[in-house]
């Protein structure tokens, strides 16, 4: 490694690397790996791998020190004082959270990945060090038990190899894939290796002939080119056999030829020469020069029929493109602190999108599954109307595109045009499509059906967050109404309490950040409104006793036995007025409600927050309504439950509903391909408190993701 770094680092930079080696060797003194070799051999090997990519001095120093904080008594502060904050930040980014107790291996794995992604967003060199670390661990995996080998190999194929692909570091990607394949499926690996080796001499002879023919023609055209040939890596061949259900003798494009030229013009001229030498296969040409991949990869790809009638792929690119293809982000070492220019920053946009949705996922298993889908995917490349390229997973829809552009565009999407024509929101986007999203300010937000349409975890997460926020707004309104009722019983005006600062003191005593949080807690049963009102009264008596009425009237209003749900509603300023509960939102006693005077049908009562209210334009026809103080009756509601599919989930939910004595009128269940079960249940309930208790009971059932109240329960 000394010779290698001497070829591109100056004396001061070499001194930093040598100092880091001496520090790490002293810290790891007396430590040995499972293979029996001294521990320092591992960080030294990691740094050597990175030196082959011409890693900068800070990266090499961090690579040498990357296990010091995790495996010795050295603290991060010691690294910072000895080597500076930049090296310390890189070391911290690759240090695992080994001193924290986790409930499961998945939780530990997710926590470490989250930490790495956050550090990577600040400095992408963190993940390059981690990839080199993983690569050397795989090279020396023989010393570990079989179960540990499988665990590391599986994680490599699911997370680290796709990360290398995303960063465009093909040199890492191929070796990570093949080593992961070797240890996860050793028998299949050996069988495929032997089968390919059996005809390797034939392929080498064919490659030599193709290379010679192409090189001769390019020289005649005055194009200076380096022409190379190689067999595709084992894991990519294995995946193609598995996904396409083929045997090796049915996989024809095992050979790839690469022509590396001086200029972009040379690339296209070379393409013309290739197509005159060999017949191109229809639909197998890709221009990644005009439309680069998000990781910065540029090249021309064409598949042609070779001299023996076998298809083979030719990749054509410039020397700078080849360096980016081999080293990906590592081709940008020279940018200060791992930060590149604006164009490179745009290529890393996928990471910021990844961070956006992963912050919203609290369940470790859900995060891991979403990460695997979003990292390891085939892509389509589509255009905005302005010509910007957006990459999405194969199978993505206009809704995925809308949420990739901006959350608000997704939420307010009303339709889409692809290539100038209206398409359904479920349309599967194709590479080259020009996508235009139509929006409306009057849109009430996403539909739950969209969860079955979208492909990306980002879009699904944003839609779920919308409904969670909607539920919170309803909770705030319900909680406030419940507290207002209890405060009214005290005989004190709400405005007087607020003006006297009583609520601020109560919030402090109860440890809530604001009134909205308190209202929401009251609604979902976290705290009783009676308890809060008691604290309000205590604070009044302690600081503002004059606010209390001289004589408290504690007469309890009579309970009203209603024959129909509508009889439990009071219309302000009117009596004997026809009242109808809106079927679009199905209010129950305890819901904050509002009335709307209809033509010929009296007053229709809606839940506050009902989407239908937004469509009612005549504000003068809204009227104040309230529930009777005590109502005994039954009211129809519908809930929507999401959970991880398992045997007995539906029965557990139905049992919870039956336990509160509710009459179930209709219930349905279905599960999607992601293993998510969706249950809809319609039943009668007495009031909001009973419903909240039921919802809390269902949320405690194993595997439940969400429980939401639907609009539209009907008798």
Nearest to 446 by CA among 488, 398, 481: 398
- CATH code of the domain covering residue 653: 3.30.70.260
- Judgement on whether residues 15 and 163 belong to the same structural domain of the protein: yes
Mean pLDDT over each residue of the chain, to the nearest integer: 82
Sheet holding 603-607, edge to edge: 579-581, 603-607, 593-597, 622-623
What's the domain count of the chain? 6
- Judgement on whether residues 305 and 201 belong to the same structural domain of the protein: yes
On the 0-12 / 13-18 / 19+ scale of CB atoms within 10 A, 157 is buried
What is the reported pLDDT for 341?
Answer: 47
Q: Is residue 347 part of a domain?
A: no
227, 211 contact by CB (below 8 A) = yes
Count of residues for the chain?
A: 715
Distance CA 601, CA 582 (A): 11
Over residues 585-605, the mean pLDDT reads 83
pTM of the predicted model, to two decimals?
0.55
245, 228 contact by CB (below 8 A) = no
Dihedrals phi, psi of 711, to nearest 5 degrees: -95, 140
The DSSP secondary-structure symbol of 513 reads S
Which run of H or E residues covers position 61? helix 57-65
Encode pLDDT of 267-300 as tens digits.
999 999 999 999 998 888 989 998 887 667 899 9
- Judgement on whether residues 508 and 386 belong to the same structural domain of the protein: no
Half-sphere exposure of residue 149: CA atoms within 13 angstroms, side-chain side: 16
- Judgement on whether residues 437 and 492 belong to the same structural domain of the protein: no
Q: Which of 371-380, 385-394, 630-639 has the least mean pLDDT? A: 371-380
Percent of the chain with pLDDT over 90: 26
Q: Is residue 74 part of a domain?
A: yes
- Tokens found for residue 499: 């003006």
- Domain's final residue, options 519, 547, 575: 547
Distance CA 215, CA 273 (A): 10
Over residues 120-128, the mean pLDDT reads 76
Q: Is residue 363 part of a domain?
A: no
- Residue 174 pLDDT exceeds 60: yes
- Residue 340 pLDDT exceeds 50: no
- Judgement on whether residues 450 and 406 belong to the same structural domain of the protein: yes
Confidence of residue 53 (pLDDT cuts 50, 70, 90): confident
> 546-552 long-range contacts, Cβ below 8 Å, gap at least 24?
547/492, 547/496, 547/497, 547/500, 548/490, 548/491, 548/492, 549/491, 549/492, 552/490, 552/491
- CATH code of the domain covering residue 171: 1.10.3210.10
- Domain's final residue, options 417, 434, 455: 455
For residues 486, 490, 491, 493, the Cα torsion angle rounded to the nearest 10 degrees is: -60
Encode pLDDT of 437-474 as tens digits.
998 877 778 887 788 889 887 888 888 888 777 777 77
Confidence of residue 538 (pLDDT cuts 50, 70, 90): confident
> Which domain, by its residues, includes 92?
2-193
Q: Is residue 297 part of a domain?
A: yes
- Judgement on whether residues 533 and 655 belong to the same structural domain of the protein: no
What is the reported pLDDT for 372?
Answer: 58
Confidence of residue 84 (pLDDT cuts 50, 70, 90): very high
Encode pLDDT of 663-684 as tens digits.
788 889 998 877 788 999 998 8
Dihedrals phi, psi of 642, to nearest 5 degrees: -115, 140
Q: Is residue 300 part of a domain?
A: yes
Q: Is residue 487 part of a domain?
A: yes
Q: Which residues contact 498 (CB under 8 A, 6 or more apart)?
A: none
Q: Is residue 557 part of a domain?
A: no
43, 24 contact by CB (below 8 A) = yes
- Judgement on whether residues 271 and 184 belong to the same structural domain of the protein: no
> To 10 degrees, what angle do helices 457-490 and 349-358 make?
40
Q: Which residues contact 43 (CB under 8 A, 6 or more apart)?
A: 24, 28, 63, 64, 65, 66, 67
Residue with more model confidence, 633 or 238:
238
- Judgement on whether residues 26 and 163 belong to the same structural domain of the protein: yes
- Judgement on whether residues 392 and 426 belong to the same structural domain of the protein: yes
- Judgement on whether residues 419 and 502 belong to the same structural domain of the protein: no
Beta bridge pairs of residue 434:
383
- Judgement on whether residues 690 and 569 belong to the same structural domain of the protein: no
Measured CA to CA in angstroms, residue 624 lies from 133, 570, 587, 602 at distances of 67, 9, 15, 13
Dihedrals phi, psi of 392, to nearest 5 degrees: -140, 160
Over residues 70-97, the mean pLDDT reads 87
Q: What are the catalytic residues?
A: 70-71
593, 608 contact by CB (below 8 A) = yes
Q: Is residue 552 part of a domain?
A: no
What is the reported pLDDT for 162?
Answer: 83
What is the reported pLDDT for 713?
Answer: 47
Distance CA 263, CA 682 (A): 67
Encode pLDDT of 175-220 as tens digits.
999 999 999 999 999 999 998 888 888 888 888 999 999 999 999 9
DSSP of 543-569: H-GGGS-SS---PPPPPEE-SSGGGGE
- Judgement on whether residues 51 and 170 belong to the same structural domain of the protein: yes
- Domain's final residue, options 455, 487, 514: 455
Confidence of residue 96 (pLDDT cuts 50, 70, 90): low
Which run of H or E residues covers position 323? helix 319-327
């Amino acid at each position: 490694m000394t010779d290698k770094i001497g070829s591109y680092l100056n004396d001061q930079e070499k001194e930093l690397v040598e100092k880091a080696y001496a520090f790490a060797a002293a810290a790891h003194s007396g430590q040995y790996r499972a293979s029996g070799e001294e521990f320092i051999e591992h960080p030294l090997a990691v740094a050597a791998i990175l030196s082959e990519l011409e890693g900068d001095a800070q990266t090499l120093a961090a690579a040498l020190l990357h296990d010091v904080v995790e495996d010795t008594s050295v603290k991060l502060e010691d690294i910072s004082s000895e080597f500076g904050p930049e090296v310390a930040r890189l070391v911290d980014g690759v240090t695992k959270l080994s001193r924290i107790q986790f409930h499961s291996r998945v939780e530990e794995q997710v926590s470490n990945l989250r930490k790495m992604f956050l550090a990577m967003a600040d400095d992408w060199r963190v993940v390059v060090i981690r990839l080199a670390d993983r690569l050397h661990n795989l090279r020396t995996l023989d010393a570990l038990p079989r179960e540990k080998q499988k665990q590391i190999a599986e994680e490599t194929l699911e997370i680290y190899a796709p990360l290398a692909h995303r960063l465009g570091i093909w040199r890492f990607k191929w070796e990570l894939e093949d080593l992961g394949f070797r240890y996860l499926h050793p028998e299949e690996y050996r069988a495929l290796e032997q089968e390919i080796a059996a005809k390797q001499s034939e392929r080498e002879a064919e490659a030599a002939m193709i290379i010679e023919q192409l090189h001769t023609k390019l020289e005649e055209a005055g194009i200076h080119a380096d022409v190379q040939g190689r067999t595709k890596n084992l894991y990519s061949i294995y995946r193609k056999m598995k996904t396409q259900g083929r045997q090796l003798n049915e996989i024809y494009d095992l050979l790839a030829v690469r022509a590396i030229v001086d200029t972009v013009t040379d690339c296209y001229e070379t393409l013309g020469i290739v197509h005159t030498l060999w017949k191109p296969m229809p639909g197998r040409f890709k221009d990644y020069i005009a439309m680069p991949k998000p990781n910065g990869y540029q090249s021309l790809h064409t598949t042609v029929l070779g001299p023996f009638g076998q298809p083979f792929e030719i990749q054509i690119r410039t020397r700078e493109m080849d360096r980016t293809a081999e080293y990906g982000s590592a081709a940008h070492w020279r940018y200060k602190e791992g930060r590149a220019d604006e164009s490179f920053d745009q290529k890393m946009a996928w990471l910021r999108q990844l961070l956006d949705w992963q912050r919203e996922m609290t369940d470790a298993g859900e995060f891991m599954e979403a990460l695997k889908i979003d990292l390891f995917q085939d892509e389509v490349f589509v255009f905005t109307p302005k010509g910007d390229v957006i990459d999405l997973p194969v199978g993505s829809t206009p809704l995925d595109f809308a949420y990739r552009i901006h959350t608000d565009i997704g939420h307010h999407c009303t339709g889409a045009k692809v290539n100038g024509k209206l398409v359904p929101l479920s349309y599967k986007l194709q590479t080259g499509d020009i996508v235009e999203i139509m929006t409306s300010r009057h849109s009430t937000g996403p539909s739950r059906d969209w969860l079955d349409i979208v492909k990306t975890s980002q879009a699904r997460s944003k839609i779920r967050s919308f409904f969670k926020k909607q539920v919170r707004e309803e909770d705030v309104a319900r909680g406030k109404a419940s507290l207002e009722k209890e405060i009214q019983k005290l005989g004190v005006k709400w405005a007087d309490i607020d003006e006297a600062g009583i609520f601020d003191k109560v919030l402090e005593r109860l440890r809530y950040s604001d009134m909205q949080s308190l209202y929401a807690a009251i609604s979902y049963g976290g705290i009783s409104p009676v308890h809060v009102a008691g604290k309000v009264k205590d604070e009044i008596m302690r600081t503002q006793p004059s606010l209390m009425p001289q004589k408290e009237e504690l007469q309890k209003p009579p309970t009203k036995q209603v024959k129909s749900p509508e009889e439990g509603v009071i219309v302000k300023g009117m009596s004997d007025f026809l009242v109808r509960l809106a079927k679009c939102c199905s209010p129950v006693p305890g819901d904050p409600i509002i009335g709307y005077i209809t033509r010929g049908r009296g007053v229709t009562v809606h839940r506050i927050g009902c989407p239908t209210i937004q469509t009612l334009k005549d504000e003068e026809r809204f009227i104040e309504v309230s529930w009777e103080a005590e109502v005994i009756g039954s009211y129809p509601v519908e809930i929507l439950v999401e959970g991880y599919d398992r045997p007995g989930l539906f029965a557990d939910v139905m049992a919870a509903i039956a336990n509160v004595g509710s009459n179930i009128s209709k219930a349905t269940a279905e599960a999607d391909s992601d293993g998510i079960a969706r249950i809809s249940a319609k039943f009668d309930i007495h009031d909001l408190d009973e419903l909240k208790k039921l919802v809390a009971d269902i949320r405690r059932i194993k595997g439940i993701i969400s429980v939401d109240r639907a609009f539209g329960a009907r008798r």
